[in-house]
Structures are given as C-alpha cells and as structure tokens.
Structure 1
Amino acid sequence: MKTWVLYYSKSGNTKKIADAIAEELEDVQKSEQIPPAYPPENVALLFLGTAEYAGKPDPKMIEFIRTLNTNRVKNAAVFGTSGAGNAEGKAIGAVKALLKEKGINVVEESFACKGKNFIFFNRNKPDANDLKAAREYARKVYGSIKV
C-alpha cells in the first residue's frame, strides 16, 4: 500500500515522530517536511504531522492542505506534538477538519505527545516511549486501512 509521511516542524519534535512512523512501515515514502511536491498518485494513506503553535497548526500546514490535490490521497491519519498544554490539542483537530472538508477519509484516532518547549519544559520529549507509541500507532492505522 502506498503510504506517505509528511509533517511540519520548527523545533524537530514532530519530525522525530514522523521519522519513527516512516521507519516502522513498508512501502513508505521517507518522511518529509512540507511544503514538498504533491504526493505521488494513488497514495492510499497519508500520515500528516503538525506541531501546535499557539493552539493552531502552522500556516504552512493549513496552506498545504488547502492546495492538496485530493484525487491523489484516499486516507489520512494525523499526528502531532505540543510543547505546552494538551498534546492532543486544537491543531490536530483543525488539521483533521480541513482534511475532511476536502473530502479525504480521515482516520478518527490520532497520535499526540508532548514535545520539548524551549530549554526548560518537557526537556526530553519526545522520548523513547513516545517514539515506541508512535510506531505502534502507525502499525495499527496501517493495518486498519483497506485498499
């Protein structure tokens, strides 16, 4: 099944999760920061990762979704990190809502964890347990998609 992992990350927290997901699955396009070229044709599953900035995804993520050619992507799963507050915050919900508006089937379950915030907060996040949980999430979602 053709799978692609994309993310947007300023600090590298979301990139760590994206890399763990990409390494876990077979036939995956290497994780890549947006905005890349459009996904290849017939992507069965797009993992889309966002960091939360002041309760929102970065504007580059929003723009990418708005310009996404939905004829290329059948299903999407959303993951993210947050340096402050609730890791499964508003940014993941906003990304899921935008994808649904585009008519893409969005996996209900998402993955979120805390990320390092500045020097002092969540210093070792995401940690080995977070990466392990991200890989488990990837396998579960990948196994649930019917091509």
Structure 2
Amino acid sequence: MKTWVLYHSKGGNTKKIADVIANELEDVLKSEQIPPAYPPENVALLFLGTGEYAGKPDSKLLEFVRTLNKDRVKNVAVFGTNGKGVAGSAIATVKSLLNEKGINVVDESFCCKGKFFIFANRKSPDSNDINAAKEYAKRVYNSIKA
C-alpha cells in the first residue's frame, strides 16, 4: 500500500512524530517536509502533520492541502503537535479542508505536546508520546489496509 508521511515543522516537534510514524510502518515512501520534491500521486494513505501556531496550522501546510485532490490521494490521517497536547483547531482546520476536497479523512487524529520556546514542555514529545504515535500509525495503517 503506497503510504507517505508529509509534515510541516518549525521547531522540530512535528518532524519528530512524522519520523516515528514513518519508521513504524514497513512500506512508507517518504517522510519529508512540505512542500515535497514532487507531489504525491496514487497514494493510498497520507499521514499529514502540522504544528499548531496561535490555534492555526502553518500557512505552508494549508497551501499544500489546497493542491491535493482525491484522484491522487485516497485517505489522509492528520497528526500534529501543540502546547496543550490535545487536538485543537489546527487539526480540525486541515481535516475540514480535506473533506471539502472530497478526500477521505481518517476520523482518528493524533496530537501531543511539543517543546515550546526554552522552558515550556521542554521534554516533549516524550517517550509516552512516541509510543502513542507508533500505536496510532499502526492502527490507522491497518484500518486502511484491511
């Protein structure tokens, strides 16, 4: 099953989770920062990651989402990081845009705390977050593969 992991990460938190997801799955083609070197095509499952900045996803990620269409990407699972560790409006915004494009969006999303500036959440994402991201990746992958 053709699977990609794409993300946008300013501080490295979302990249860390993207790499965990990509390493957990057997046949992932890419794990790279948006925009990718070439656009995804014939992708069965796209894991799409964003940080949350003042309640919003990064504008580069939104621009990328606008380029996607259901003929190139069949299913998208959205994940991210933020200061609270719960899925916020950034993930909801990305899911909404994908739904508007007619792309199947996996109901379950993943979010964990990310390190913020120097002191806030400075050990995040931590080992519990890493393990949760691995389990999320396997669950989503297996649900699409079935």
Q: CA deviation at 1:129?
A: 1.1
Residues 69 and 103 of structure 2 are in contact (CA less than 8 Å); yes or no, is this contact kept in structure 1?
no
* 2:33 pairs with 1:9: no
Q: CA deviation at 1:128?
A: 1.2
State the match for 1:30 in structure 2: 30
TM-score normalised to structure 2 length: 0.95
State the match for 2:107 in structure 1: 108
User: What RMSD in Å do the two structures reach over aligned CA positions?
Assistant: 1.2
Q: Map Cα deviations across residues 47-98 of structure 1 (whole Å, 9 max, x no partner).
A: 0001000000011011001112431100000000002x35311000000001
Residues 75 and 106 of structure 2 are in contact (CA less than 8 Å); yes or no, is this contact kept in structure 1?
yes
Sequence identity percentage = 73
State the match for 2:60 in structure 1: 60
State the match for 1:129 in structure 2: 128
Residues 38 and 69 of structure 1 are in contact (CA less than 8 Å); yes or no, is this contact kept in structure 2?
no
CA distance in 1, matches of 2:77, 2:61: 14
Q: CA deviation at 1:10?
A: 0.3
Q: CA deviation at 1:146?
A: 4.2
Q: CA deviation at 1:30?
A: 2.8
Runs of 4+ in 1 over 6 A off after TM superposition: none
Aligned length: 145
Residues 7 and 49 of structure 1 are in contact (CA less than 8 Å); yes or no, is this contact kept in structure 2?
yes
